[in-house]
Structure 1
Amino acid sequence: MIVKERNIPLRMLKLEALLRRLEEHHPKRPQILEELARRKAGYRGEQALEYYLTYLSSEKYSVLQDLRLIHKEHYFQIDTLILSPSYFLIVETKNYQGTIYFDSDYSQLIRTVNDKEEAFPSPLVQVRRQRNHLSEWIKDNKVIDIPIDYLVVISNPNTIIKASPKNLEALRKVTPITVFLNKIEQIEKLYPTQLTQRKEIQRISKKLIKKHTPLNPDLLTQFDLTTSESLKGVHCPSCNFLPMQRKQAKWICPKCSKTSKDAHVNAIVDYALLLDNKITNQKLREFLHISSRTVTNKILGSLALEVSGSKKGRVYYLDGLVHKLKL
């Protein structure tokens, strides 16, 4: 049973928003596009695993996805954590193409696509580090004494996986997604003893979810961008022109003449993703290119946002809009 589902990664949403808000020929666009493509490929791989997870017994397993915990001032993130009364299993999903080779001598993964070789850090090193962090976190939080195992799942069924015969870790811990369930059956045989009850697993799941701390990156800082480089205004839903004009309670596109009553919602979401999770009437007027305080009051009132303060000091909190988007 999946007790913590995977949402669209917040960083991916922010990268998309950043691309919408940068000039077409901005020098940082290629770098951002490259990262976004990589993130999307990884997310598709993680989504592919969900189909196989649905076949796990809900009476035996609890599954937590996209879990981020802190241990001794350092955060660690786990793609998928499977809890059972006999063992815990960390699953790291990778969406590689071409041919991949696990090099144990240098702890590298070497990918070959169209005769071009490229080296990556070994995901086995990554998932072993996750296991060590989780083991220490469990001890510090006095959760349970239980074995923790790990797997690296290659989500692209067309990827060719290779490793030297002496690389026993890769041979045992790396699996194509198509045989993931068979691998689970093999791991179950390694841990035949039930060490706790189902109710305890449910309690541990709730504690892990409570301790989960989502990452909220500041992309403008990370890409060394200023707020002035982030374009303001409302995009046209039809042709993507920026900015639309506000006339008679609707948005009108100067380029294609299409109209919209709620095109501002996506613009406000972009503001929340890139600039701040809260906004005032004045800041919204500046961002949407609206002169009327009354109009922005109506817009903000229609969004059913959490608020604090009153009159000109009123602040509107935008986390709910982003949360709906992620669902």
Structure 2
Amino acid sequence: MNTFKLKRPLYLYQYEALLRRLPQRHAQYNAIKKDYHKYLAGFQGEESLDYILSIVNLHKEAFICRGLRLKNKANDYFFQIDLLVVTPYFIYIGEVKNHTGKLVFEPDYGQMTQLKGEAANTYPCPLQQSKRQARQLQVWLSDHSLQETPVYAHAMISNPHSQISSNTPIPELYHADLLPEMLDSLNLTNSKRIYTRAHLQKLEKLLKKENEEANHFLIEKYNLHSHEVIQTICCRFCSSRRLRRFRQKWYCTSCREKDEQTHMEGLQDLALLNVGFQSLSTYRIFLAHISAATAKGLISPYVIANEYKCKGRKYKLDINKF
């Protein structure tokens, strides 16, 4: 499992691909960029736990998972867990937030209000989110014939400069720096062993198998058309689109640089953005109007399937093949 180092999620690469392919003058460019920075800040907040997790004191058979996304069999819906700590005695769930400013928590109303300057923004309460994840995890464990165990649901603020405010103290809500002490406390209050070593190994293997990373379909999300992102590739050195293919290399007529891999980033972007099946002529235009044979040769290693078997054949790229 991904024990300490958090893997960079696919959706960040997808947003970066969209921002590369979409013209900055596009009506939705700034809104998409704002969403990207929101997701990036959230990831950076989770990433900041790396050091804290490296100093926690856990049972030698315990393990830690980051960024889990699991599916419940009953309703076929996914649920996500930022931080999961599995020990022989209990399971800990941590919902991680990286908000700045003053954070006013009202769990009875299921909300958190962020006060920053003169602005006030309301979000779902992360503590309620973590409790919902705990319930879903209990169902998931039962569905996989795993014994019930105490599950503790907490919420953490990863930004140490944020101010946590609430009318009454909330023991399950704190800054991330307190995580080692919280886990120490749970270790002291849970002395009955629930999971054997074999149970833990089975669960770790199962979580790894069942974890399914989210694949965002950004073109549909922002009501874009695929032709808006399938624009001719550009030079890696000067961003010009005046490229020519000559002797298995790309030649830029603007800066006169030569390169063999100019097309790779563009093809990866199309795969990340799930542009779907496209005709060979579309790829020819995308690849600086090269010949059909050359275009087919460049995309063939990354094609997962052909929609048609004869005339009118279309090609789809798979990001896992790059």
Q: TM > 0.5 between the two?
A: yes
Judged with a 3 Å threshold, the aligned counterparts in structure 2 of structure 1 residues 47 and 272 are, in CA distance, closer, same or farther, namely same
Judged with a 3 Å threshold, the aligned counterparts in structure 2 of structure 1 residues 248 and 6 are, in CA distance, closer, same or farther, namely same
TM-score, normalised on structure 1? 0.86
Structure 1 segment 180-191 matched on structure 2, within 5 A:
180-191=179-190
1 CA distance for matches of 2:25 and 2:305?
Answer: 39
Residues 302 and 317 of structure 2 are in contact (CA less than 8 Å); yes or no, is this contact kept in structure 1?
A: yes
Judged with a 3 Å threshold, the aligned counterparts in structure 2 of structure 1 residues 149 and 289 are, in CA distance, closer, same or farther, namely same
Residues 89 and 149 of structure 2 are in contact (CA less than 8 Å); yes or no, is this contact kept in structure 1?
A: yes
Q: Which residue of 2 aligns with 1:273?
A: 272
Are 1:65 and 2:66 counterparts?
Answer: yes
2 CA distance for matches of 1:243 and 1:58?
Answer: 60
2:79 to 66, 73, 76: 76
1 CA distance for matches of 2:26 and 2:299?
Answer: 31
Are 1:153 and 2:166 counterparts?
Answer: no
Cα distance, 1:266 vs. partner? 0.5
2 CA distance for matches of 1:229 and 1:114?
Answer: 37
Judged with a 3 Å threshold, the aligned counterparts in structure 2 of structure 1 residues 100 and 242 are, in CA distance, closer, same or farther, namely farther
TM-score, normalised on structure 2? 0.87
Judged with a 3 Å threshold, the aligned counterparts in structure 2 of structure 1 residues 194 and 47 are, in CA distance, closer, same or farther, namely same
Letter in 2 for 1:146: T
Cα distance, 1:321 vs. partner? 4.6
Q: Which residue of 1 aligns with 2:50?
A: 50
Residues 233 and 244 of structure 1 are in contact (CA less than 8 Å); yes or no, is this contact kept in structure 2?
A: no
1:141 to 144, 151, 164: 144
Q: Which residue of 2 aligns with 1:22?
A: 22
Does 98-107 or 216-225 show the bigger shift? 98-107
Judged with a 3 Å threshold, the aligned counterparts in structure 2 of structure 1 residues 279 and 183 are, in CA distance, closer, same or farther, namely farther
| Partner SS for 1:143 | coil
Cα distance, 1:117 vs. partner? 2.0
Letter in 2 for 1:66: G
Residues 78 and 92 of structure 1 are in contact (CA less than 8 Å); yes or no, is this contact kept in structure 2?
A: yes
Are 1:112 and 2:111 counterparts?
Answer: no
Judged with a 3 Å threshold, the aligned counterparts in structure 2 of structure 1 residues 242 and 154 are, in CA distance, closer, same or farther, namely farther
| Partner SS for 1:172 | coil
Judged with a 3 Å threshold, the aligned counterparts in structure 2 of structure 1 residues 178 and 111 are, in CA distance, closer, same or farther, namely same
1 CA distance for matches of 2:66 and 2:318?
Answer: 24
Judged with a 3 Å threshold, the aligned counterparts in structure 2 of structure 1 residues 238 and 273 are, in CA distance, closer, same or farther, namely same
Residues 272 and 278 of structure 1 are in contact (CA less than 8 Å); yes or no, is this contact kept in structure 2?
A: no
Structure 2 unpaired stretches of 5+: none
Q: How many residues align?
A: 316
Structure 1 segment 1-327 matched on structure 2, within 5 A:
2-3=2-3, 6-56=6-56, 57=58, 59-71=60-72, 72-165=75-168, 168=169, 171-242=170-241, 244-276=243-275, 284-300=283-299, 305=302, 318-321=318-321
2 CA distance for matches of 1:115 and 1:31?
Answer: 22
Identity of aligned residues (%): 25
2 CA distance for matches of 1:83 and 1:278?
Answer: 42
Cα distance, 1:189 vs. partner? 2.0
Judged with a 3 Å threshold, the aligned counterparts in structure 2 of structure 1 residues 196 and 105 are, in CA distance, closer, same or farther, namely closer
Residues 282 and 293 of structure 1 are in contact (CA less than 8 Å); yes or no, is this contact kept in structure 2?
A: yes
Residues 232 and 289 of structure 1 are in contact (CA less than 8 Å); yes or no, is this contact kept in structure 2?
A: no
